[in-house]
Amino acid sequence: MRMLVALALSALMALSAMGQAPFPTVDPMRKAPPGLEGLVWNKWDTNHFSVISLDESSGRSLKSEIESLRQDVLSRWGLRGSESFFCKLVCVPDAEMLRKLFGLQEPKCEVRKSASGGEDCIAIWIDSGRIDLLPSLVAEADISWGGGPLFLQRGVSVLERSPTSIKSVISSASELPLVAVTDSSKSSEAFKKDIGAFDATSASLCLLIRREYGKRAVGIASGDAKVPLYSRIGFDSQSDFEKTFARYRVNLLKDLASGSTPDEYLGSGPR
């Protein structure tokens, strides 16, 4: 059932000013800042999402489609997904509203780990003008929630975008050594140091695993196994893994530059 709740903008703006996207909450007792009075959230719950939208029509559409969208993403990548997954999905009409309400220049997914022993929280913020990014954000949210490795979170998220965006990310930065993105003790630092190179390497690696070794290999890569990734997907050593990836990426970049890589190979269409 749809629930109408007044917009809790005072608290949201305070968090935005601190550089942190405010986590989706509603509070009917708070007043909106000048110029933003009268906005009303529409809210619907599904099995794994709480859809919160300023536009009723957009919200109803998201509510009816979001569960099947999630299943499509999981199926494409051979991932099971966690039954405990529950995400707050906030949709506003346009980019300007996303900036004003949440201080965000781009749609965003975020997992907030509880430091006090409470429940972890996850949310997606998006605007209707960039709704095509929703599969990418859902992929990132689901893999993050399940504890999947950072390279898989970032790589699959890139490969759930449009072919044009995928090509841009993969081609616009040099790759990192695979050990830097696949070793959990190194990946966070590598990501912070060079997000572009990390995403380009991760997307190329996820494409290699999915296309050359199949969805089952993606599922194996998603596990928090004690065995190194190279061994889990059939390589004898990290060196062999690195060499295979280097050859694959050189050929991939060459094909992307010549325009000979079909969009279906990158991500759109059946997989």
- pLDDT-based confidence at 35, cuts 50/70/90? low
What is the reported pLDDT for 175?
A: 83
Do 40 and 6 form a contact (C-beta atoms < 8 A)? yes
**33 vs 97: CA distance, rounded Å:** 13
User: Per DSSP, what are the bridge partners of residue 88?
Assistant: 50, 123
pTM, 2 dp: 0.84
User: How many whole angstroms separate alpha carbon 238 and alpha carbon 236?
Assistant: 7
Instruction: State the average pLDDT for the chain.
Output: 84
- Residue 125, both tokens: 């913020």
Q: Which pLDDT score is estimated for 121?
A: 85
User: Which residue in the block uniquely carries the two structure tokens 């992929």?
Assistant: 139
Residues 80, 86 contacting (CB under 8 angstroms): no
Distances (CA, A) of 167 to 123, 159, 210: 27, 9, 17
Query: Percentage of the chain with pLDDT > 70?
Result: 82
Work out whether strand 87-92 and strand 121-127 pair parallel, antiparallel, or are unpaired.
parallel
Count the Cβ atoms, other than its own, within 10 Å of residue 257.
11
Distance CA(59)–CA(35), nearest Å, equals 23
> Per-residue pLDDT for 18 more than 70?
no
pLDDT at 15 over 50: no
Model confidence pLDDT, tens digit, residues 204-220? 999 999 999 988 899 88
pLDDT exceeds 70 at position 12: no
**In the chain, what are the domain boundaries?**
3-146, 152-266
Q: Cα-flanking dihedrals φ and ψ of residue 162, to 5°?
A: -70, 155
